[in-house]
Amino acid sequence: MARVQVLLADDEPFILKGLQMLIDWELYGCEIAGTASNGLEAYNIIKSKKIDLAIVDIRMPELTGLELISRVKEEGGLDTDFVILSGFSDFEYAQTALRLGVVDYLLKPVSQKQLVNLLRKIGVKKDADNVMQEHAEKLRRACLVQYLVAILGGKSNQHQVDYVCENLVTEGKLNFVHVTLDNVSSLEEMTDEEVSEIKKKVVENCREFLGKYSDHLLPEAEGFEEDFEIGFLYCSEMAREAGKNDREYLEELRKAAMRNIPIEVVLLVGKTVSEPGKLAASYNGACELRYFRSFQKGSSVYFYEDDMAVPHSQAKEMIHKDAADDLVNAVIKHDHDEISACVDKLFENMESSRFNRFLNLNINYFLFRMIHLAVEIDETVEQDNILLYISDDVFVPGKNFKEHFRNFALEYSDYLTQLKKDSGHRGLKEVERYIQEHYAENLTLRDLGKMYYINSSYLGQLFHKKYGISFKDYLNNCRITAAAEMLLKTDRKVADIAADVGYKDIDYFVSKFIEINGCTPTKYRRNV
Write down the pLDDT at residue 44.
Answer: 93
Of 73-77, 385-389, 435-439, give the range with the top mean pLDDT: 435-439
* Per-position b or e across 276-286, b if 16+ CB within 10 A of its CB: bbebbebbbbb
User: Which of the two residues, 399 and 368, has the higher pLDDT score?
Assistant: 368
Terminal-residue alpha carbon distance, the chain:
30
pLDDT per position as a tens digit, 181-195 = 876 556 666 777 787
CB atoms within 10 A of CB 315: 12
Pick the closest to residue 34 from 5, 1, 69, 75 (CA basis). 5
User: What torsion, rounded to 10 degrees, do the Cα atoms 277, 280, 285, 290 define?
Assistant: 140
Q: Full-prediction pTM beyond 0.75?
A: no
CATH classification number, 426-528, choose in 3.40.50.620, 1.20.1440.130, 1.10.10.60, 2.60.40.10: 1.10.10.60
Residues 467 and 471: their CA atoms lie apart, in Å, by 9
The DSSP H or E segment spanning 174 is strand 174-181
Task: pLDDT band for 353, please (50, 70, 90 cuts).
Answer: low
Three-class DSSP category at 274: coil
Lowest mean pLDDT among 54-58, 107-111, 274-278, 394-398: 394-398
pLDDT per position as a tens digit, 401-424 = 677 778 878 888 887 777 766 444
pLDDT per position as a tens digit, 291-308 = 666 555 567 898 888 766
pLDDT per position as a tens digit, 460-487 = 777 777 777 888 888 989 999 999 999 9
Helix axes 91-99, 65-75, angle to 10 degrees: 10
The DSSP H or E segment spanning 459 is helix 456-467
Q: How far is CA 284 from the centre of its chain?
A: 17
Lowest mean pLDDT among 181-190, 211-220, 380-389: 380-389
User: Which of the two residues, 152 and 137, has the higher pLDDT score?
Assistant: 152
Give the mean model confidence (pLDDT) for residues 276-282. 89
Pick the closest to residue 422 from 475, 382, 465 (CA basis). 465
Q: Is the CATH number 3.40.50.2300 carried by domain 4-125?
A: yes
Fold classified for 168-307: Alpha-Beta Plaits (3.30.70)
